[in-house]
């Protein structure tokens, strides 16, 4: 009833305005209308804006509102949401949006391929794909020892018994094995242990172990930050000794003047990092690596303790890359970044005790492609920062 009353009031108001208008001189009416139009709608945008707001107000006045629509509103809602026509219209709208998205994606790929558009024409040529060599066969003895070191240090820091840990590892392995088999991973005998003969099998074994580690940490409410620092430090040192005992050197004490030899030390440590990456390659743990050159000015500022020192190191085809990504996607924070553990300890060698090193991993596709469906992680990029002291 209220809606009908409002409509009648609007109609009477319009009729009254029309009668009043036509009772005046027609030439005066035309002149006034022209002036009003010029002043009110100086631009087309203003005119459209006024029309839009007028239509919105009319809709608010005439359409039933949820609060007072009653039976009429309920019928309208039911017709839109549950009727065959309403469902069909809504489905068509969704399908239309999906079709437009596909068309837009194809046009974007086409434009990207041929460099169409003003902004693309300003850019340089597309970077060439980075050629990543295949991984060498994994050194099974080294891979087995790396897993054993991880288990030993985990039990040492958490007081979980080795038998309990191994039992849980076996349980989780049997639980997730079918999923990895469907993805093409060779598991050996159906009921036997998974062999460590390939990089993929080592990646799988690392995933299982670190998933178990994370579960124990959550279950036992371990202080993760403190545990992570100790675990990565001890693992890094032990794994360095495993690959080459000459890598291990004691850190200098914090008493003494290091400013005169800091530059020499950090350059030497980075050379040892390059030697380590070659050792990782030889054992089938990475496919290739590249470290950024030191910025002389930044290095000088870091030695003077006025700036941070930043280095990037790319590890192409890291053998445990898939395990790292999958664990993080599942919400776990402790991941099998064995290379990072060792690199951090090498960089810290012979530096003052108060010197810190922060390393963050970024997972990169080394081939440029505007199609997200073709995105494939091929590289772990380590961003290494040595803060000023």
Residues 374-389 pLDDT 10s: 778 999 999 999 998 7
pLDDT of residue 96: 85
Name the residue with higher pLDDT: 174 or 42: 174
* Average pLDDT estimate for 55-79: 58
- Across the range 353-379, mean pLDDT stands at 85
Pair 297, 152: CB distance under 8 Å: no
At 316 the three-state DSSP class reads strand
How far is the C-alpha of 170 from the C-alpha of 363, rounded, in Å?
29
- Nearest-10 Cα torsion for 329, 332, 333, 334: -120
Whole-model pTM: value is: 0.69
Question: Which is more confidently placed, 190 or 13?
Answer: 190
- Look at residue 31 in the predicted model and tell me its pLDDT: 43
The 10s digit of each residue's pLDDT in 128-184 is 778 889 999 999 999 999 999 999 999 999 999 999 999 999 999 999 998 888 888
Per-residue pLDDT, 258: 56
With a CB cutoff of 8 Å and minimum separation 6, the contacts of 308 are 302, 385, 386, 387, 388
pLDDT at 84 over 90: no
- pLDDT-wise least confident of 5-9, 60-64, 163-167: 5-9
Q: What are the tokens at 224?
A: 């993760």
Print the SS3 string covering 104-162: HHHHHHHHHHHCCCHHHHHCCCCCCCCCCCCCCCCCHHHHHHHHHHHHHHHHHHHCCCH
Q: Could you give the CA distance from residue 314 to residue 381 in angstroms, rounded to a whole number?
A: 4
Q: pLDDT tier at 43 (50, 70, 90 boundaries)?
A: very low
Burial grade of 124 (CB within 10 A; 0-12, 13-18, 19 or more):
exposed
Condensed to tens digits (0 to 9), the pLDDT of residues 326-356 reads 999 999 999 999 999 999 999 998 888 889 9
b/e for 178-198, b at 16 or more Cβ within 10 A?
eebeeeeeebeeeeeebebeb
- pLDDT at 255 exceeding the cut of 50: no
At 22, the pLDDT band (50, 70, 90 cuts) reads very low
* Per-range mean pLDDT, top range of 7-16, 122-131, 267-276: 267-276
Average pLDDT, integer, range 271-294: 95
pLDDT at 7: 39
Per the CB < 8 A criterion, the answer to whether 235 and 335 are in contact is: no
Over residues 314-334, mean pLDDT: 96
CA distance 277 to 318: 11
Q: How confident is the model at residue 121 (pLDDT cuts 50, 70, 90)?
A: low
Residues whose CB is less than 8 angstroms from the CB of residue 321 and which lie 6 or more positions away in sequence, other chains included = 203, 363, 377, 380
Backbone angles phi, psi at 310, to 5 degrees: -120, 135
Of 33-37, 203-207, 277-281, the poorest mean pLDDT is in 33-37
Residue with tokens 């809602």: 77
With cut-offs at 50, 70 and 90, classify the pLDDT of residue 297: very high
For residue 377, give the nearest of 362, 357, 387, 359 by alpha carbon: 362
Does residue 20 surpass a pLDDT of 50? no
pLDDT of residue 319: 96
The b-or-e profile of 347-379 (16+ CB within 10 A means b, else e) is bbbbbbeebebebebeeeebeeeeeeeeeeebb
Contacts for 310 with CB less than 8 Å, ≥ 6 apart: 298, 383, 384, 385, 386
Is the pLDDT assigned to residue 30 strictly greater than 70?
Answer: no
In percent, how much of the chain has pLDDT > 70?
71
pLDDT of residue 252: 46
**Could you tell me which of 339, 285, 333, 352 has the C-alpha nearest to residue 313?**
339
Find all residues with CB under 8 Å of 243, minimum gap 6, and list them.
142, 276, 279, 280, 283, 342
pLDDT at residue 64 greater than cutoff 80: no
Gap between the Cα atoms of 362 and 310, Å rounded: 15
Cα angle: 185, vertex 195, 175; to 5 degrees: 60
Output 299 or 184, whichever has higher pLDDT: 299
SS3 55: helix
pLDDT surpassing 60 at residue 306: yes
Average pLDDT along the chain: 79
Q: Does residue 373 or residue 266 have the better pLDDT?
A: 266
Looking at residues 62-85, what average pLDDT do you find? 66
CA distance 228 to 224: 6
Per-residue model confidence as pLDDT tens digits over 231-253: 999 999 999 999 988 887 654 44
Q: How much is the average pLDDT of 64-85?
A: 68
């Amino acid at each position: 009833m209220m809606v009908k009353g409002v409509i009648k009031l609007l109609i009477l108001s319009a009729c009254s305005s029309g009668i009043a208008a036509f009772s005046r001189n027609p030439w005066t009416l035309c002149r006034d209308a022209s002036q009003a139009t010029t002043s009110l709608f100086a631009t087309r945008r203003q005119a459209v804006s006024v029309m839009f707001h007028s239509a919105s107000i009319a809709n608010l006045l005439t359409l039933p509102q949820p609060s007072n629509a009653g039976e009429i509103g309920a019928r309208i809602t039911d017709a839109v949401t549950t009727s065959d026509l309403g469902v069909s219209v809504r489905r068509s709208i969704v399908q239309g949006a999906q079709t437009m998205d596909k068309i837009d994606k194809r046009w974007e790929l086409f434009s990207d391929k041929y460099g169409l558009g003003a902004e693309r024409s300003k850019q340089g040529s597309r970077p060439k794909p980075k050629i990543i060599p295949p991984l060498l066969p994994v050194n099974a003895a080294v891979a087995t020892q790396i897993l054993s070191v991880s288990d030993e240090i985990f039990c040492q820091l958490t007081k979980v018994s080795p038998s309990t840990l191994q039992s849980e590892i076996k349980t989780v392995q049997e639980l997730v094995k079918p999923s990895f088999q469907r993805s093409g991973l060779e598991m050996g005998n159906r009921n036997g242990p998974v062999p460590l003969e390939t990089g993929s099998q080592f990646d799988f074994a690392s995933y299982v172990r670190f998933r178990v580690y994370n579960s124990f940490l959550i279950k036992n409410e371990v202080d993760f930050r403190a545990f992570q620092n100790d675990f990565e430090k001890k693992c890094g040192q032990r794994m360095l000794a495993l690959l080459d005992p000459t890598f291990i050197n004691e850190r200098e004490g914090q008493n003494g003047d290091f400013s005169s030899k800091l530059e020499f030390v950090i350059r030497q440590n980075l050379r040892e990092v390059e030697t380590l990456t070659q050792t990782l390659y030889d054992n089938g743990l990475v496919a290739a690596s590249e470290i950024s050159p030191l910025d002389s000015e930044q290095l000088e500022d870091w030695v003077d303790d006025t700036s941070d020192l930043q280095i990037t190191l790319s590890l192409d085809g890291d053998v445990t890359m898939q395990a790292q990504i999958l664990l993080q996607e599942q919400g776990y924070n402790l991941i099998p970044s064995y290379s990072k553990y060792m690199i951090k300890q090498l960089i810290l060698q012979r530096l003052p005790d108060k010197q810190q090193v922060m390393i963050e991993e970024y997972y990169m596709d080394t081939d440029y492609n505007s199609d997200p469906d073709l995105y494939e992680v091929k590289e772990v990029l380590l961003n290494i920062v040595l803060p000023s002291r």
